[in-house]
Structure 1
């Protein structure tokens, strides 16, 4: 798999992974895909949010393979909704421009009773951007996530932090995990497409994601 596809995953849920994925997909002028959506918020799905924030044409925000109603881990959401997740439907879409594929929650979130997202990432074979918060607990969560990915031979492009700057935590994760620090997306308020685009451009180098 070439750099045509990038996987965005996180160390936990609710850390800003979808906002980062929207910024990255928009900066690349690519496509966005979240294969499994579990739970629908009042403002819609993660794909709806990416469509609003990324600046991409709506047709470049691809439909989910599974859109589950229950807001919990995909393996349980599928069981509650009476759906069997077929791995064949999780094959990466073939698109002309770069594809940003987003997982759900952390790397070891179960897709089924026998497989996690990390197992699916290994099957895809594309490089992963690990999104990590900067707040307390992030060193443990990040290093465990890095170990889980490496145990499955998943290539790690680097870590993208989200939140207020915490230099020691960010440096420690990248040094001990032997991963590249890609940058840090600050807290953006109000969160608008323009503000997100400017923040990404100011804090990340696009060539790190394309070289």
Structure 2
């Protein structure tokens, strides 16, 4: 089995797709054949926007995937922009379909980046949350968190859940241009408690090093 890295976050709109593309580019720069999949995307009207973005990126990085279609990158889509549980009217998770697509990619890849939807406790169906999908896919996790006020609470809660489930993981902060208060309001807590602050935009090489060796 190839290395599987699941990109999750403390909430929606934190920067999972942005981070996933950086991971793909960094691993590809090391000579690894990269692949990507977003198992479930909601809010899809005409075509999956995140999926199209990921497809364009991975085709440039791995010529073996030139024939992929967006359906190979996003096997399950729903129109309503809501949790998969709500968007699908509680349709049972088709895990076999997701695993099948991942295994097809693995035939041409050394490493697969799997982008989740929302945060860890986004409900997929009545039996599965997004965190369950990480475990079922036997992936290590990258927890992407934000740098605005409230990030201490959000980060620690999500990290604790991953630890309780014994899911190997790395935490990375996606600091945006308007997150100017992070260094004064939140970062001092992390620094003083021994929590390593890895930033997506600055530390992608180290993030990839740690993830690859988990």
- The TM-score bracket by the shorter chain reads 0.7 to 0.9
The alignment partner of 2:97 has SS state of helix
What is residue 190 of structure 1 aligned with on the other side?
Answer: none
* Cα deviation digits, residues 67-98 of structure 1 (max 9, x gap): 11111001111118xx5422222327121221
Runs of 5+ in structure 1 lacking a partner?
186-201
| Closer/same/farther in 2, CA of residues 179 and 102 from structure 1, 3 Å limit | farther
Q: Does 2:111 match 1:104?
A: no
Greater C-alpha Rg: 2
Give the Cα–Cα distance (whole angstroms) in 2 for the partners of residues 174 and 156 of structure 1: 19
Asked if structure 1 preserves the Cα contact closer than 8 Å seen for 2:140 and 2:211, the reply is no
SS in structure 2 of the partner of residue 111 of structure 1: strand
Describe how 1:107-146 pairs up with structure 2 within 5 A. Answer: 107-146=120-159
- Residue 85 of structure 1, aligned match among 79, 86, 93: 93
Distance 1:69 1:126, change over 3 A: same
1:32 positional shift = 1.0
Q: Paired residue for 2:9?
A: 10
- List aligned pairs for 1:39-118, cutoff 5 A: 39-40=43-44, 44-52=48-56, 55-56=60-61, 59=67, 62-79=72-89, 83-91=91-99, 93-94=102-103, 95=106, 96-118=109-131
Residue aligning to 2:198: 182
Contact 1:134-1:162 within 8 A present in 2 as well: yes
Cα distance 1:154–1:173, how it changes in 2: closer, same or farther (>3 A)? farther
TM-score, structure 2 as length reference? 0.76
| 1:130 to partner: Cα distance | 0.5
Q: Contact 1:156–1:179 (CA<8 Å) still a contact in 2? A: no
Count of residues paired in the alignment: 191
In the superposition, relative to structure 1, how do residues 79 and 127 fare at CA in structure 2: closer, same or farther (>3 Å)?
same
